[in-house]
Structure 1
Amino acid sequence: MHNKQSFLLGGGEIGARMRAHDWAATSLGPPETWPQSLKSAISTCINSPVLGAVLWGPELRMFYNDAYIPAMAERHPHALGRPVAEVWGESWDTVAQPFWQLMDTGEGFIHNKVELPMTRHGQREITYWGITASPIRGEDGSVVGLYNQGFEITSRIIAERERDVAETQLRLVNVKLAEEVTARTEERNLMWDTAPDLMLILDFKGIFRRVNPAWTQVLGYSADELVDHHINEFVMPEDHAETVAAYESAEYGQHPRVINRYRHKDGSLRWISWAAAPAGKLTYATGRDITQDKLRETELESTQEQLRQSLKMEAVGQLTGGLAHDFNNLLTAITASLDLISRRIEQNRHDDVGRFISAAKEASSRAASLTHRLLAFSRKQTLAPQSVDPDQLIEGMLELICRTVGPLITVEHVGDPTRWAALVDPSQLENVLLNLCINARDAMPDGGRILIETHNVVCDSEQAVERDMPPGEYVRLRVSDTGSGMSPEVAARAFDPFFTTKPIGMGTGLGLSMIYGFAKQSGGQAQLTSIMGQGTQVAICLPRHVEKTRTEQPLAEALAPPVGEVSEVSETILIIDDEPTVRILVAVALQELGYITLEAETALAGLVVLQSDQPIGLLLTDVSLPGGMNGRELAEAARVTRPHLPVLFMTGYAAHALFEDANAETAMAVLTKPFPIATLVSNIRELLQSSPADADWMEPLPA
């Protein structure tokens, strides 16, 4: 079959008929021209073991699977591709309303015990069904069809009615049995002996006192194997507690209903639905074997889960495609800039080299920003938390925020003079604040108001459970807008990864999930409330810093010497990274500043150098290294013989928990990739200046 029609593979009889059908002669056209959403739905449907149909387009044209054929009767195979109203006639009129409503609203439904008059094989009958329907959406998000599944429960409904009659009769008999208290009357009861359902008499301790012959037919046990035994000897352990609760409630006059699982004598599993009633000091109960219904429900749930996974993978595909597009654009800018720089050097033309260098730097910075957003979403970014004055940070960003949201939107900041300092990564908090304001702007295309507030929050143990965060003291940063707001359904999914209400190509669905990931990784929480037509409010709670907020040192450029200036230093730095380009560039930059450098590609190779008598002033290592030992483990091994060795970790992907003790006291620091050379040098100088004079002293190894 042509690859474009591969979605029609399998499917049994229906699959074969669809492949052989001349679709080009219909209004749908050849299958290879059908929308991807129709192809995916049909592929799932025809290969499903559960009765199902795809109802496509404004006329709801039918595509169904082999499991549907018995229900179609004489309508098969002529129904294939025809409007559902033509196929089912008055039967469709009975159930059509929720299907059309689903086409309008996009909200799926599950209906149980649907009564459906139906003519099959010329015989009119009343049938009962369990029906579920889900929307099929096109590329623009609109509902273009329905995925309908169900199973016929006519026999079960009839059996339940028969059981209710039998239960009523049993209660009457039970009253009579309780009055007469004779086994002779019970044995003469024809219903007891011939009923297909399980019947039992149980005392209030759970001991079988009598069972009917159906136990042998349904579960394989004789009366002698059951009587005087506890009921839980035959019930699955997971259902023991519910079974005990049922017969204990009967002792207090209740009429319990319970569904539990029994072991058949052959080892298989049976689901039994029970109805019980007390009489005197005994419980009388009747049970129906519903194993087949449970199996059908399980199959239905499995098929729905497969469909959900298929839709999720489609969303992941859209996300990765967008990211690949963005990265290719950025790599093109970097590659082109480097190519032009190389040409200008060959031509001995240096007048516009600076412009190309700036372009490459800008593209690199944007690529790093995109990577950090992904890491924040996955809660894998490396954070550098410190004491931050949130109001000071907000005031420093107000001008940028106002320019970003435009003149139609008013931005207000209301600070709290008594608020605490927060323990947070300031650069990541700036990104979060800017993203929240951009989201607010998008919700107010005609203008509006953004309010940024800060407050102190104390979370006790009870509130901690409600808010899913540790108890303690927090600083809350809240951003409110007067925009269009969200429906309760959208607000409930706002923090979900890949979820977005924007059109394809206009958003990845990572924004709010990134903010949620950042808040959780920082030790706090993010919460969202929204009202349709009134606006949205996002609050981020960040842990309080117990020390007074201090003014942060300017960026590393203030600490580093001007590029090209060689310091009078002689420290030896061991560089370990499995990426040769990173090692070479870092080594060259440090050598130009007067440092002596050694290089290693793996942790084991670096450990050989560290265990030699080579003087080493500082270890500069990547965290993720090949060979079974990571950078943190390498540092711990190195400090066995060099206890005061300063260590600077480089990482672009690591959990912050690895570096909770990285500070001046431990002579360790963390540097997030990518980084400017000036920032690298600044971190190296700080570590070398804070380390003891005997930093490269080596303890002798044990003999």
Structure 2
Amino acid sequence: MLSAEGDVVSWNAGAQRFKGYMPEEIIGKHFSTFYTREDKASGIPLHALHVARTTGKFEDEGWRVRKDGSLFWASVVIDPIFGSDDVLLGYTKITRDITEKRRADEALHASEERFRLLVQSVTDYAIYMLSPAGLITNWNEGARRIKRLAFDDVKGSHFSRFYTDEDKLGGIPEKALLTAEREGRYETEGWRVRGDGTRFWAHVVIDPVFDSARKLIGFAKITRDITERREAAILLERTREALAQSQKLEAIGKLTGGIAHDFNNLLNVICSGIDLLRATPSDTAQHRKIVDSMERAAQRGAALTGQLLAFARQQPLTLEILDINQVIASFEAVLRRAVPDASSFVISKGPIGRVRTDLSQFESALLNLVINARDALGNEGLISLETQQAVLGENNIDQIPAGSYAVISVSDNGSGMPPEVVARALEPFFTTKPVGKGTGLGLSQVYGLMQQSGGQLVIRSALGEGTRISLYFPAQPGEHGMEPATPGRDKALIVDDQPDVLDMTVAIFQSLGYEAVAANSGAEAMHLLQQHGDINILFTDVVMPDMNGVALAQAAREYVPGIKILLTSGYMSDALREQFGEPLVQFDLIAKPYRLADVAKRLLTLTA
């Protein structure tokens, strides 16, 4: 409370805390004590009392001074107190310390100002705000540059003015706002129109803006002119198409030239034979010799066509499961006849199992590789044919996915090939052999076979170090010395809560020769274990809704002490260890997605 002259007449605990004065230190002193020297000099304390007395209230904010001389930002309200005869008795004065609020307001204002300056300084993006109805409410420098319009020219207009007539007729602007409001974002690319009528290709993002009550108060719209980028992408694509067409024409030119050369030779034999038959109508022995030559030419033509189709991957192959070592053993005599006596030809057959390919085409491919190796040696040297297994990880060999493979390799210690020759070795009709010694279709035919068989051909060669060509065939079930289980010998319990996964896994086990029973939960699996006393393998998913696979494996091991257990999961092993801890480490784990050969290999390890 203040007297009519402005002296302090009462003092509460709040005043003591804010200003630092005890009641006896301040009562009787003028309230201007709390004002700064500048405010006192300007007469602000007396002005405050005058306004309160004449208008009924005085409100203000400003700096005030504590007893220790420190300043605080205060909110002040002064109300006059009148007696019954309208005589002024004094004033009530309420002061609040709002220093922190002022600092927060100042920080917010500074942040908003920095943001405004930042947005205004961006010139590569048109950034502007829209009302809920789509009217433009502000505009940055980037918008002025891209749209070529000042803010005064667009303020209050609808943003659809920048759309093409076709888009306006299609209701695109309205759909954009509805999508942004409904889905939280709208993003697209398309033609937009500048203020001068020219078009540009724009990347557009529209975001809705909501208040604290989730009421839509407008949209933030960002537009970028990407015309140059689009034109560059179109030009690049056209260049690629032109290059591909050029390469295609070059390949066709080589192909037709090679075909014409070889078929002219064949047709020459046939045409000449016909002429000779006409010229010697009575010479039966000569006729037979001529017919034999014509037949051989026709067979060579058929073989040439077959090689071309194999390279083009258009000749259907008769794919069958073959035991590669058996095929090589039965074909070995033919392979050895292709190698001169002076050369050494070593065949080394490791456990390789079976592959899926065409028998005759595989034999032809193998013969081509051996003949190429023979020609690279000259009169003497060493040729090796090897079969072996290979388990590849990701990126072990370029263009070959991870997995199990049967590998057939033909090596020679001849002159080898430089990198530029290796790069072209698979091209049709490309050959380094003298004229008349080869068509250049041998490796092309082998490559075509590998592609149709789902495999890959790999060439390793260097000048002076010989050449090694390896054929990688995907391993078929039963590879790597793993024979399918004898039906009735092993019974597997398959557990997974996903029906499709469960059915497919049961099919995998059945294809490997196991008798399989299925359960879609841990509880059902335990019930089946109690019903089937001859189950000796448990294959279970780890993460299941009721009883997880780790708990099931522990319970199964207690119930059937000798049971073999293999866990599987689509989660990373680190995440599983973090969730299940030490119990998980007790069991073997195979990651999803698993391949048939992977399951077979792990089962072989478990049952060994």
**Same fold by TM-score greater than 0.5:** no
* Superposition TM-score tier, normalisation by shorter sequence: 0.3 to 0.5
TM-score normalised according to structure 1 size: 0.38
Larger Rg, first or second structure (1 or 2): 2
